[in-house]
Amino acid sequence: MSNVLIIGAGGVGAVVAHKCAAVPEVFTNILLASRTKSKCDKIAEAVGGNRIQTAQVNADNVPELIALIERFKPDLVINVALPYQDLPIMDACLATKTHYLDTANYEPIDEAKFEYKWQWAYHDRFKEAGIMALLGCGFDPGVTSIFTAFAAKHYFDEIHYLDIVDCNAGDHGKAFATNFNPEINIREITQPGKYWENGAWHEIPAMSIHQPIDYPNIGEKESYLLYHEELESLVINFPTLKRARFWMTFGPKYINVLNVLQEVGMTSIKPVMYEGREIVPLQFLKAVLPEPASLAEGYKGQTSIGCQIRGIKDGKERTYYIWNNCDHAEVNQEIGAQAISYTTGVPAMLGAKMMLTEKWSGKGVFNVEEFDPDPFMAEIGKYGLPWIEEIDKPLPIEKY
């Protein structure tokens, strides 16, 4: 029996709400709160059965968050608002001694830089308060980190090379749209790429390294080396890694439009004066782009996200590939979501279940790969994200 507070009523928040509502034996009372209450109400209505209560909250405002938490008394807060809200929500959890979970690490609003340092700095305070924060429990970060922990636990003595491969081969029929919050997404892909090799980070110009990668049930797609936040904790938690990289697919049309937007200054986060007031071009762009949740209807095709790993077992070289494919139309049929929101929201619900049932417990701030992957891996398929593994077969990343 537990109370859970979900903050954020976007594409991911809707999935978390649906999925928590379907597990009443763990999530007894659910409150969905966000900046725009009408979006919470719409989701609550779609879930039905009076399972979801709703509230308005500005999650940048710590006293407002504390008042909401004191009123509803959640055992856990699931933060699926934006990365900017991570620290205020963690502050409110500390003040009220409430567990915390998120899917994306903190970013300062005025600098496109994502690092765990701000959130890891809460470790001692969470420990002293006797509460737990679970960071990055979506798909990537999240399941990709749990896949890596699962591989290291069951199949390798040492993992040496990790390539996280993220393909969205779906078609939403829009001229240009991002699959999760446009502002966060564009900040992520327009900053320099970075990968880990031989004990150091190597920075590259944005989108400058790319190659085709063959994805299961999809085929070859051009994939771009990006910096992605789970790399930061994985190279610390798996110190045998000699190299760790992250690849994401983008179609030529997406790249073209993004280039134009960048060249004309629309992706800038530096404020400009417009008709006597300051506006941030990227925030304005976000306002005219489709919301991630609105892409679900008519979205066709699949995502395929996984980990390709090379390492050593019993003195011999070993390869391992583990992945999940998720079909946009199928998950729209199930709960009216698109696959990117779905693949993020399902692990967030299951991570919350792991915490509330004490399969994963601790005092302090943790990344998902620090816990036993087995109970999570045993259940994620039944909640909609089954996985497939291949052992000692040629890795698609090494084909070229």
Does 369 bind ligand NDP (CB under 6 A)? Our answer is no
Q: Is the peptide bond before 141 cis (omega within 30 degrees of 0)?
A: yes
Among the listed residues 4, 5, 6, 9, the single contact to ligand NDP using CB under 6 A: 9
Among the listed residues 74, 138, 193, 311, the single contact to ligand NDP using CB under 6 A: 138
Name which of 135 and 155 has its Cβ closer to ligand NDP: 135
Does 140 bind ligand NDP (CB under 6 A)? Our answer is yes
Does 184 bind ligand NDP (CB under 6 A)? Our answer is yes
- Under DSSP, is residue 103 helix (H, G, I), strand (E, B) or coil? coil
Give the list of residues 6+ apart from residue 209 with CB closer than 8 angstroms, or none. 193, 224, 225
CA distance 390 to 317: 14
Q: Which stretch binds ligand NDP (CB under 6 A): 176-184, 243-251, 308-316, 387-395?
A: 176-184
- Under DSSP, is residue 394 helix (H, G, I), strand (E, B) or coil? coil
Does 29 bind ligand NDP (CB under 6 A)? Our answer is no
CA distance 217 to 379: 23
Does 292 bind ligand NDP (CB under 6 A)? Our answer is yes
Q: Which stretch binds ligand NDP (CB under 6 A): 111-119, 180-188, 209-217, 245-253?
A: 180-188
Does 32 bind ligand NDP (CB under 6 A)? Our answer is no
> Strand 277-279 vs strand 302-313: parallel, antiparallel, or unpaired?
unpaired
Name which of 103 and 319 has its Cβ closer to ligand NDP: 103
Cβ at position 268, least distance to ligand NDP in Å: 19
Give, as one character, the DSSP assignment of residue 198.
T
Name which of 156 and 337 has its Cβ closer to ligand NDP: 337
Does 103 bind ligand NDP (CB under 6 A)? Our answer is yes
CA distance 110 to 282: 11
Give the list of residues 6+ apart from residue 364 with CB closer than 8 angstroms, or none. 123, 124, 126, 127, 132, 133
Among the listed residues 3, 85, 145, 332, the single contact to ligand NDP using CB under 6 A: 85
Does 306 bind ligand NDP (CB under 6 A)? Our answer is no
Cβ at position 242, least distance to ligand NDP in Å: 25
In terms of Cα–Cα distance, which of 160, 176, 185, 180 is closest to 242? 160
Among the listed residues 41, 91, 291, 370, the single contact to ligand NDP using CB under 6 A: 291
Does 81 bind ligand NDP (CB under 6 A)? Our answer is yes
In the numeric block, the tokens 């000699």 are attached to: 242
Structure tokens at 348: 């967030």
What are the two backbone dihedrals, phi and then psi, of residue 171, each rounded to the nearest 5 degrees? -130, 115
Cβ at position 161, least distance to ligand NDP in Å: 22
What are the two backbone dihedrals, phi and then psi, of residue 107, each rounded to the nearest 5 degrees? -130, 135
Does 339 bind ligand NDP (CB under 6 A)? Our answer is no
127's torsion region: left (phi>0), alpha (psi -120 to 50) or beta? alpha
Name which of 197 and 291 has its Cβ closer to ligand NDP: 291
Q: How far is CA 16 from CA 47, 260, 335, 392, in A?
A: 11, 35, 11, 35
> Strand 302-313 vs strand 243-249: parallel, antiparallel, or unpaired?
unpaired
For ligand NDP, the binding residues in 34-63 under the rule CB under 6 A are: 34-36, 39, 57-60
Name which of 32 and 311 has its Cβ closer to ligand NDP: 32
Cβ at position 347, least distance to ligand NDP in Å: 8
Q: How far is CA 245 from CA 136, 158, 195, 229, 397, in A?
A: 17, 17, 5, 11, 11
Q: Which residues pair with 30 in a beta bridge?
A: 4, 52
For ligand NDP, the binding residues in 343-362 under the rule CB under 6 A are: 344
Cβ at position 394, least distance to ligand NDP in Å: 27
Single-letter amino acid code for the residue at 368: V
Q: How many residues bind ligand NDP (CB under 6 A)?
A: 35
> Is 112 within 8 Å of 118 (Cβ atoms)?
no
Cβ at position 117, least distance to ligand NDP in Å: 18
Cβ at position 97, least distance to ligand NDP in Å: 22
Does 172 bind ligand NDP (CB under 6 A)? Our answer is no
Q: Is the peptide bond before 347 cis (omega within 30 degrees of 0)?
A: no
| Radius of gyration in angstroms for the set of CA atoms belonging to the chain, rounded to a whole number | 20
How many CB atoms within 10 Å of residue 77?
28
Name which of 155 and 183 has its Cβ closer to ligand NDP: 183
For ligand NDP, the binding residues in 141-170 under the rule CB under 6 A are: 141-142
What residue ranges bind ligand NDP (CB under 6 A)?
8-13, 34-36, 39, 57-60, 80-83, 85, 103-104, 138-142, 180-181, 184, 291-293, 340-341, 344
